[in-house]
Chains A and B, each alone.
Chain A
Amino acid sequence: MPSRRRLLGAVSASLACVAGCATSDTDTTPGGETITDPTVVRLRNPGGERALVTPRDQTGDGQLIQTRAAADGLSVPPGVSTSDERALDSLLADTAFDRETLFVIEEYPMSCRDYHVQSLYWSPGWIELEYCRRLRPPDVSCVADQRDTVAIVVRVPGEVSRDPIVRTGGNSECPDREYAVIDETPTDGTNATSATATQNATSATAETDTSGGDA
C-alpha cells in the first residue's frame, strides 16, 4: 500500500462533526429554531441495507432517541466502520437526554457522495433537515454507481414531541471552494520515479506546442 497523506487545510467532506467539534449557529424564529451546521454523526454502511438499527426500527421515516435507555438500545449492523461507531458512542455519551434529543434518519447516497446537513429547523412538533451534496475526498475508498446506507444522527437541543412532522430536502452541491487532494508521491522509489517522470514528460511536451494550435 503506497503511502498517501491527506493535505492539511483541505476540506474533508466525510468527517462527521461530532459533539463539541464545532459551534453551531442558532437562529430562533417564532415557533421554532434554526441551527446552521448542527451537531451530526453519520454512520455509513457501504452497499448495506441498514446503518443503524433503532429500538423501534423505523429509521426510514426518522426516529427520535429521547432517553438513555433508548440510546442503549441502538445497534450498529455489520459493515459500519469502527470509527463511525466510535463517533456515535461519543455523541451518545455527550448528549444530555433530559434537555436534548437525538433524531435519526437513514438516507441512501451514492457511495462516493455524502449528504451534509446544512441546517436543522426544529420545534416541539417539527423537524426539518436541509441537506447539500458533496463528493467524498479522493482518498476515501468508494465505488462508483453503488448506493450506501447512511444513518444521520442529529442532536436537537430540546424536547421534541413523540411523532413530529419530519421534512428533509436539498439536493444541491455544497458551496465548497476547496477540496481534498491526494499526494500521489508514493514512498516506494519505483513509483515515485514514475510519477515524477510523468510530470517531466508533460512539462517537456509543453515546450513544443500542446495547445492544439490554439495560440
Chain B
Amino acid sequence: MSQRRRTLLKRGLAAAVVAGGAGWYVRDDLDSRFWLDPPAFDPSGIETVTDTSVPTPPRQVPVSPAPLVEPFERRVESLLGGVPEPVPSDTLPNGAFRTRIAERRTAARTALDRAREADTTVETRDALVAAREQACEAATVWASVNSRTPVTTVVPDRERVRTAVEAAEAALLGPAPSPLVGARVYAALAAPVETNDRVPDADRTDAHSPFEAAETARGLEQTAAHATAARLLATRYAETVSGEPTGSVLAGTVEALGDAVVDRYRTLHRAATGGTPTPRSGGSNWSLLDSPDTDTYVDADVPTEAPSRQLLRDRTWPLFDRFRGPVSAPFAWAYADSDYPALVVRQTHWLLSWHAALDSLRTRIREGLRLYPADATQVRNRRQAAVDAVTRLIDDGNPLEQWVARRLCDAFEQPDDRLAGVTADTVGDDAERDGETVSRRGVAESYATYDWIVTVADATERATATVTEAVRRARASTDENQ
C-alpha cells in the first residue's frame, strides 16, 4: 500500500470516528434535552389512577388438576424416600452435598405445598413439576455419592422420557368444541412440553461431578413430568368435551398461516427501510428475521426519546429476539412442521396481533403521537380504556382473543406497580422508589404501556380474522381429502 493511500485511509477512518462520535453526541444531547425539560404534567388525582381492577381472564385449562396430584406426589415421595433425612454429617461429611440435598428436599416439599394451595390447573401443574424436579435433584446427588443407591434407580430413563413426550404429542391433538378452543386449551398444555422436549443424549450426561449429574437428571425429570402432565390433562379434557380431533385442522391452519407471517415481516421491513432484505442462499425468507434499524421507521417530528418512539423500539426488538425467536415462538412459517400445532396457531395469532399493533403505533407516530400525558386524568382515562379493551376481548368469547387478554392483563403489572402509592406530591424527577415516588418519565412510560395494551387489543381483531380464514381453508382442504 502506498504511503499516500495509507494516509487517505487514516483520514477516512478518523473522519468516520468523528462523525460517529458527533452523531452519538447530538442524539444523546437531544434525548437529554427532552427529559431534562419535559412538557408540563399536572399530577392532581394521580392517587386514583390504578383504582379500577384489572379483569380476570378465563382459565386456560378448563379441567381439574386431579389426575396429576396422586402420581406426582407419589413420585416425589418415592425419590425423597431413598434419601436419609437428614443426611448425617458422619455419613456424608462433605457439607456441600448435604446442603444441596437438604435445600432441594425442602424446595420439593415447598412446591408440593404450593400445588395444594394453587388456584388454577396450570399453577398446580407447574408446582407439581417443580416438586418432581427438586426431589430428583436431591435423590441424584445422594445416589451419586453413595455406593448403595444405583443412580439408575433415580435418574429417569431416556427412552422412557422420549416415550412420554411422544405420548403427550399425540394427546395434544385431541378433540375440542372448535379448532380455536382446541388451540387455546392444548396450547396451554403444550407450551412447557415444547420448551423442554429435548432429551439429551447419554454422552451429554457423562457428568463431571455429582452436581452436574443431578442437574442433568433434573432436566430429564422436568421433561418427563411436563410431558406426563400434558398427556394426563389432555386426556381428561378430551373426556369432558364433544367435538372432532383438532390435530389435522390445526396443522393445516399452521400451513395456511405461513404466508401471512412472511407478509407481515415484509411489511415491517418495507416500513423500516423502504425495501426487504436480500434473501439468503436458497431463496429462503430467513433474512426477514434480521432486525432493521427501528429509528428509521418513522419520519416524523417526534423526538427520538419521546415515549411513543421508545415504545416503538421496545416493542419491535422482541420480534427479532435471537434466543427464542419472535415474540411468540413457535410460530407459523418458521415452525411449519411443529409437533404442537395448537401452540403454533395460538402463538401465531399473538405474533400477528403484535405486528398489527406496531403498524397502528407507527401510523400514529407519523401523525405526531408523543404519548406524553398532560395530566393524571389523561393517564387514568388511558388505563381505563385499557381495562375496557381487555374486558371486551374476554367478553367477546373468541378463545384466542381471550388468551391475548390474559397476556395483556399481565402487562398491567409493571406500570401499576410504578404508580401504586404515588401521590401528587411525590411525582418528580428524583430517583424512583416503588410505591412512593415516580418520575415524570415514569408516568409517561406507564401511560405508554396502557396505550400499548389498548393498541394490541384493538389490533387483535385483524389477527383473529387472518387465523379464522386459515382455519376455514384448512377445514376445506381436510374435507376435500376425505
Contacts and interface: CB of A to CB of B under 8 A. Distances in A.
Nearest to A173: B208
Contacts of A183: 146-148
Given A138-B93, A198-B81, A177 B144 contact: no
A1 B74 CA distance: 34
B81 A212 contact: no
Given A140-B94, A182-B91, A214-B161, A173 B209 contact: yes
Contacts of A7: 147
Interface of A: 1-2, 4, 7, 110-113, 134-146, 173-177, 179-186, 195, 198-199, 201-202, 205-206, 208-215
Given A138-B97, A142-B96, A201-B81, A181 B75 contact: no
B164 interface: yes
Given A112-B95, A176-B209, A210-B78, A138 B147 contact: no
Contact of A211 (B92, B98, B100, B160): B160
A180 B148 CA distance: 13
SS class of chain A's interface: helix, strand, loop or mixed?
A: loop
B95 A111 contact: yes
Interface of B is mostly: helix
Given A144-B99, A184-B147, A205-B81, A136 B94 contact: yes
Closest A-B pairs by Cβ, 7 of them: A212-B75, A112-B96, A210-B78, A213-B71, A144-B99, A141-B93, A138-B145
B148 A184 contact: yes
A137 B94 contact: yes
Contacts of B93: 138-142
A84 B146 CA distance: 26
Given A177-B208, A181-B144, A209-B71, A202 B82 contact: yes
Contacts of B149: 199, 202
Contacts of A195: 84, 148
Given A211-B71, A211-B156, 6 more contacts: A2-B91, A142-B96, A173-B208, A182-B91, A199-B82, A214-B228
Nearest to A186: B91
Contact of A198 (B74, B82, B89): B82
Contacts of B277: none
B145 A110 contact: no
B108 interface: no
Nearest to B208: A173
A182 B210 CA distance: 13
Contacts of A138: 92-94, 97, 145-146, 210
